[in-house]
Amino acid sequence: MPAKTAAIIGAGVAGLTAALSLSRQGIRSEIFEQAEALKEVGAGLQISPNAARVLDELGVLPTLRSKWVEPESIDLRSGVTLRTMASVPAGKAAAERWKAPYAVLHRSTLQLTLRDAVLADPNCTLHLGRRLDASDIPALTLADGSRPDVIIGADGVWSRCRALIAKSPKVSFSGNIAWRFVLPFAEAPPALPKDRVAAFMGPGAHLICYPLKDGGGFNLVAITSGTNAGETWEKTGEPKRVAALHASFAGWNPALRLLIDRNKDLLFWPLCQAGDGAWQNGSDLVLIGDAAHAMMPFMAQGAAMAIEDAFVLARHLAAADVPDAIRTYEAERKPRIARLRKRADFNRMVYHARGPVRVGRDLLMALRPSHSYMADLDWIYGFEA
């Protein structure tokens, strides 16, 4: 029998989207979140058309469009010369080609918008301050004392649900860390335009910059090599780590180096990734989002894949018995995730290229027309969950 009730572990983007997607299918859900309150955690997000399309189906797009920025383009630029080597049209061009917007916003804005929609939905119940260890999950009951038909693990890269699935993915530190800081618009140099996403690439590191309407300035994320700091989304960089960050950008353009050198509020988090493995237990437990397939952010698709997962899973849970539904979901989603992971790995090599490889990269990018970049993204941005 198709699912009628669900327990969702985690009230991040994946869990909240899952609750709204299930409600759209007439499935009642209860979300169990360990935090006492949902607050700002993490950095900005890029929401590509494949995810925006789902958010539109769930009825939250109008609210989000009043809070986010829809950049005119995504520019790939040299971190040394500041020259734009390639530009992918976004804005009106993205909406026309992929039938949905491309936007940037803070993670907390998306999470809180989804939370408000969940709180307004009679099919959804949110329980805060409910930390569950792996041993608690098999006996989990809903508010009325009944067992949920399905348990959805949306508890992120350090998932406890994952431990209950045989041969589930193993998570490892990637060797890279992400540094986050916010720069007020008034303090930004001309190299940071307010109407586009800029990815500055240099030897062994890259810097992503885009404007946040909901943050009052530019969101900057620098990705460099580094050492693991454990399970954290926000950690203050100690002097040794900050010195290593500055060394990573030593050969970069002075205008970009100054942004990092003068910022005193540098936060970082380790970038971890999940390997291949089972996402479901063949019965009543299934993983979505980072719990299933945490990946490197070199395609800016982490949140988008969680949103897609949630919507696709809900569709299958409404159409088939739970064991069949979660197996079909896994079989449908794994090839797309694998293909995207390969693309992200390729981008990692391209973004951090050194020496002659970097010179060749710059030349090839400059010769490639913008429409070919858009065509290359059709399979990602044009996907309809």
Domain ranges of the chain: 5-70+103-170+274-346
pLDDT at 373 over 90: no
Could you tell me the two tokens for 120? 């307004």
Cα diameter, the chain: 65
Are the C-beta atoms of 124 and 23 separated by less than 8 Å? yes
Q: What does the pLDDT average to over 218-230? A: 84
What percent of the chain shows pLDDT beyond 70? 93
CB-side neighbour CA atoms (13 Å) of 192: 23
Kindly state the DSSP code that residue 312 receives in the 8-state scheme. H
Mean pLDDT of 19-36: 97
Tens digits of per-residue pLDDT, 103-154?
999 999 999 999 999 999 999 999 999 999 999 999 999 999 999 999 999 9
Q: Work out whether the CA dihedral 184, 185, 187, 191 comes out positive or negative.
A: positive
What dotted CATH number matches 5-70+103-170+274-346? 3.50.50.60
Predicted TM-score of the model (pTM): 0.94
| Predicted pLDDT at 267 | 82
Residue 210 annotated as catalytic: yes
Show the tokens assigned to 117.
Answer: 């929609």
- Report residue 280's pLDDT band, with 50, 70 and 90 as the boundaries: very high
Contact 61, 342 (CB under 8 A): no
* Closest to 11 in 3D by CA, of 27, 32, 40: 32
Label residue 216 exposed, middle or buried (CB < 10 Å: 0-12, 13-18, 19+): exposed
Q: How many CA atoms lie less than 13 Å away from 337 in the CB half-sphere?
A: 29
- How much is the mean pLDDT over the chain? 91
pLDDT tens digits for range 322-342: 999 999 999 999 999 999 999
Catalytic residue among 102, 210, 329, 351: 210
- For residue 236, the model assigns a pLDDT of 72
One-letter identity of residue 348: R
* pLDDT for res 222: 92
Strand partners, 7: 30, 151
- Give residue 260's pLDDT: 83
